[in-house]
Chains A and B, each alone.
Chain A
Amino acid sequence: MTRCALFLLPALLCLTGCQKETQVEKANRDGIFLMGNSSEPKALDHQLVTGVIESKIIGALFEGLVGDDPEKDDGLPPGAAASWEHNADMTEWTFRLQPEGRWSDGYRVTAYDFVFAYHRMLHPDLAAPYAEMVYPLKNGEDYNKNLRGRILLHANVVPGVTWEDAKDIAFAGDAKVALEKGAKWPDSTTDAQRLDFVKGTGLDALGKEALEWIAADLTRYPWPAGFDPVKAKSLVDVMAAKAGDDLFELANVGVSAPDELTLKLVLREPVPYLPSLVRHYTWFPVPQHVVLQHGKISDRFTEWSRYPNLTGNGAFKLKIWRVHDMIEVERNPHYWDKANVGINGVRFLPIENPYTETRAFLAGQLHTTYQVPSDLIKEVKKKAPQEFRQEPYVGALFVRVNTTRPVLSDPRVRQAMALAIDRQQLCDYILEGYFPATSLTPKMGSYEPDKILTFDPEKAKQLLAEAGFPDGAKFPRFTMLISRPSARASAEAIQAMWRRHLNIMVDIQNKDWGSYVSAQQNLDFDLAAAGWVGDYLDPTTFLHMWTEGNGNNNTGWHSKDYEALLSKAALEPDPAKRLEVLKQSETLMMSAYPILPFAWYSRNYMLRPEVKGWHPLLLDNHPLNTLRLER
């Protein structure tokens, strides 16, 4: 035993000696960029994910029509498309693809791949969670929501029936008919059950058998009063004939490929920021030949998006994928612009714990980190002032209010609570580097919202008294949900501010992530500390969510006027005027205080000095192919 230890000791010492070259130094020699990326990506099929973590890796493996500029947020360098043009009202765009564009297996990147990608993205059976992102494509929403009746009627394939005739039919079914969860047609055996089933399900979602059953006796479906049975028969017959078919062609979705290298997009409304929008990964292409080799167009998570099959058109290709350990990408030998790729590869390290990540950086294991926790900022500024970076980022922190709760439904109460938050103090002492929010949307490009939020405890007190709670007396005890330990400090500070300035006591409750999210989505909460990060550089990424029924609203607040302004902006072709209308809508929403923003994000992270070509960017989409590592 002792002898064994004696033998091991020099071996250990030697190993320690060999460690003297840090991982970063070795990586510099090899041209590998070591990037802290916080957590494991949910998947690498970019049509099926929604996160920011995934976007970094996807950005290395795939390339959108328009590239990311390493220096400017609004720079629009060519990507998979070499050039593009649009018509006068910005509803028709033509992209000309790179003639040398290649997938990482050497096949050509064609416009058909893009058509296939948008087809797949919108395919109802794929159920892409972020399909909304491509809804600007004309008819995309109808196809994705599988509004079969509407699609067939618009395509004029139902003899003798037009959309005008049929638009009163309950295609989506009658929500009042309570169907058992997961009810299926074959389960319904009696006529009464079947009648309920077809009534509750609606024509659009019925299968062939059910439609044929209706066709046999048209009274089995609740048609609008006075609807011509001949037309009904014609409609049901066509729907039964097409049941189960993919209606992509008939839906006439606004994407087409006149030739191999030309992609034509037709939009449902003017989208002046389309080039910026298509930089988001939901608009990236997928390799048709690889996807279909491993499954149908509508299959979720087939082998195509796993190592070694994953094939991209980006500057890099997948080399190693070890779950919770690392993902490494290497040069794509077929990339059209490979001569200008500055590094040989990137290693993404999913280090969940930001303290561990920062320690790894300081020990020379990473070129950059995902985030520095605010507790460590002081320490890090002292130890590595050159490497510490603090940059604005398009994200906002806010308190979400459930406006359907009594008392919180009073806008004066919400305003009072907003006025009693001292945002400057929060950002000075707790959220170091963050900026006091004066509205929801942070400044982006030429958009700057009105300054709505101020700190005014006197006015806050007065408003609370007007609402019936002078000096906070008899104010109900509400609970504010938080979900991450890092949110605790700012929540406690806001709690103390409300107590000090309004004399009201709010509880804080930490919840596990799942319960926290579901409580908000079910409006089963009073207040919740939340945040939102923009997906693209346009205020709509912050404003669309506050519409009625939007899954991210979760405040119970909505307004017809607000939605009218958003629609008006959507139809406005002049960019400057459009932003003006959006600004009005934001002012309208913020003055109702369904949310109480308190800080705008800053990204606190570390970056080694030998990394060149990395510049502050609002969206934090740093193109990795233009990076250089100095030795």
Chain B
Amino acid sequence: MAEPALALLPLKNPVSNPVIAVNVSAEQGTSLWKDAARRLKKNHAAIAGLVTVTVIILACLILPSIAGLLADPNLQNLPNKNQPPGGAHWFGTDHLGRDIFSRVLFGGRISIAVGLITTFVSITIGVCWGAFAGYCRGAVDAVLMRIVDILYALPFLIVVILLGKTIEPLTSKLTEAAINLVAGANADSAQVNTTRTWIEPITTLVPLFLAIGTLSWLTVSRIVRAQVQNVASMDFVEAARSLGLGHLRILFRHILPNSMGPIIVYTTLTIPGVMLLEAVLSFLGLGVKPPNSSWGILIEEGSNRMLSNPWLLFFPSLFFSLTLFSLNFLGDGLRDALDPKSAKD
């Protein structure tokens, strides 16, 4: 195979020309972001994605908060179960006669929150871990990567069961404290109950998924490591090193920006995984508690009834897929926009 031709160093590339990179670093902040925003605006798929995601997130955040707008997502009406979409129930009713539209919106809050938090934690850890391993190489790399090997093979399910058991007392204290804080100490039981419906999922899920985020960064770290190794072997890094730039600076300023593509992609791929993981964990008593729901649980429940009542599966899946499609196109657009090498476009 032919070695890539490396003779020419195009002057426009700020990274591969270390002199420029060093010099412009002061004013780089504003112009880089401005450029990125400008490039992003031109990308129609990314903008469509951004709009869709925003609309869905806002709908899930705002609509359920407006009193009386949506049906109670947990109000059962057994004789009215499994109604197809239409009339009073836009998305139909589920196997207990509950309104699917409100359940999808209420569930969206939990799924989106869980998806974003966990992904943020796991990507942050994974990127740093992988970057250090890939950049340092040698013994550091070996130790870091063997730890990854161990974590890979640990029985995740057992860890989660034990984690849930450990965290449970903590979260229940947190819940009570949060309710007291929000509803006030002398609130009556009705007030406490309404406050609880939205506070409890947050106080129980957030700590758990923070914890899960700290366990699910393994593949990211391996991808980043491979990518960093690849970039670090390129000539401009050698050049930067010969100029005496610090290691951290080289790593975070020069190597990581050139590895953004796979990182962004893997981020958008982690989100759906985490959302579905939440549904699995709820069957271990760790996810959202019944009667509350999430997209993952709605999809899981719907999948069991998809032959006779397809709308039970269709609407939650639609919201889930729309969100993820949009995030992916947005992610691709962001990657293009942030690419230091596409400045010329």
Contacts and interface: CB of A to CB of B under 8 A. Distances in A.
Interface of A: 355, 373, 375-376, 378-379, 425, 428-430, 472-474, 485, 488-489, 491-493, 495-496, 505, 507-512, 515
A380 B95 CA distance: 16
A512 B280 CA distance: 11
Contacts of A472: 189
Given A373-B304, A495-B290, A509 B285 contact: yes
B95 A430 contact: yes
A72 B165 CA distance: 49
B74 interface: yes
B290 A510 contact: yes
Interface string B61-93: 000000000000010101101000000000000
A16 to B, nearest CB: 23
A314 B189 CA distance: 63
A509 B168 CA distance: 12
Given A472-B189, A496-B74, A510-B290, A485 B283 contact: yes
B289 interface: yes
Contacts of A511: 284-285
Nearest to B305: A375
A376 B308 contact: yes
Contact of A509 (B95, B193, B289, B307): B289
Given A375-B304, A512-B284, A495 B95 contact: no
A496 B304 CA distance: 22
A493 B79 CA distance: 12
A488 B305 contact: no
Interface in B191-236: 193
B301 to A, nearest CB: 8
Given A489-B95, A511-B284, A429 B78 contact: yes
B73 to A, nearest CB: 12
A473 B189 CA distance: 7
A493 B96 CA distance: 7
B189 A508 contact: no
Contacts of A492: 76, 96, 290-291
7 contacts: A375-B305, A429-B78, A430-B78, A496-B74, A509-B289, A510-B284, A510-B290
A97 to B, nearest CB: 49
Contact of B79 (A429, A473, A495): A429
Interface in B232-291: 282-285, 289-291
Contact of A429 (B81, B305, B308): B81
Nearest to B75: A496
B161 interface: yes
A429 B285 CA distance: 25
A355 B291 contact: no
A565 B305 CA distance: 47
Contacts of A510: 282-285, 290
A489 B96 contact: yes
A381 to B, nearest CB: 10
Interface of B: 74, 76, 78-79, 81, 95-97, 161, 165, 189, 193, 282-285, 289-291, 300, 304-305, 307-308
B284 A428 contact: no
Given A376-B307, A509-B289, 12 more contacts: A375-B308, A376-B308, A429-B97, A430-B78, A474-B189, A485-B283, A491-B290, A492-B290, A492-B291, A505-B193, A508-B290, A515-B165
Contacts of A378: 308
Contact of B76 (A376, A474, A493, A507): A493
Nearest to B281: A510
A430 B96 contact: yes
Contact of B304 (A355, A425, A493): A355
A492 B96 CA distance: 9
Contacts of B283: 485, 510
A565 B165 CA distance: 42
A375 B291 contact: no
Nearest to A429: B78
Contacts of A488: 290
A379 B81 contact: no
Nearest to A355: B304
A482 to B, nearest CB: 8
Nearest to B74: A496
Contacts of B161: 512, 515
Of A378, A428, A507, A510, most B-chain CB atoms within 10 Å: A510
A170 B345 CA distance: 92
B251 to A, nearest CB: 42
Q: Which 3 A-B residue pairings sit nearest by Cβ, starting from the closest?
A: A429-B78, A508-B290, A379-B308
A245 B47 CA distance: 84
Contacts of B95: 375, 430, 489
Nearest to B303: A355
B307 A379 contact: yes
A508 B289 contact: yes
B299 to A, nearest CB: 13
A508 B79 contact: no
A78 to B, nearest CB: 45
Contacts of B79: 429
A507 B175 CA distance: 14
B36 to A, nearest CB: 43
B76 A496 contact: yes
A515 B282 CA distance: 14
A378 B165 CA distance: 39
Nearest to B312: A375
Contacts of A495: 290-291
A512 B78 contact: no
A365 B285 CA distance: 35
Contacts of B304: 355, 373, 375
B78 A425 contact: yes
A100 B289 CA distance: 60
A163 B319 CA distance: 76
A239 B285 CA distance: 51
B81 to A, nearest CB: 6
A507 B307 contact: no
A470 to B, nearest CB: 12
A489 B165 CA distance: 24
Nearest to A480: B290
A325 B104 CA distance: 39
Nearest to A481: B285
A495 B304 CA distance: 22
A429 B165 CA distance: 34
B63 to A, nearest CB: 23
Nearest to B304: A375
A294 to B, nearest CB: 34
Contacts of B291: 492, 495-496, 508
Contacts of B165: 515
Nearest to A475: B189
A169 B305 CA distance: 63
Nearest to A488: B290
Nearest to A508: B290
B74 A507 contact: no
A376 B95 CA distance: 12
B244 to A, nearest CB: 52
Contacts of A425: 78
A375 B309 CA distance: 10
Contacts of A505: 193
A18 to B, nearest CB: 28
B218 to A, nearest CB: 23
A516 B234 CA distance: 56
Nearest to B284: A512
Contacts of A491: 290
Contacts of A473: 189
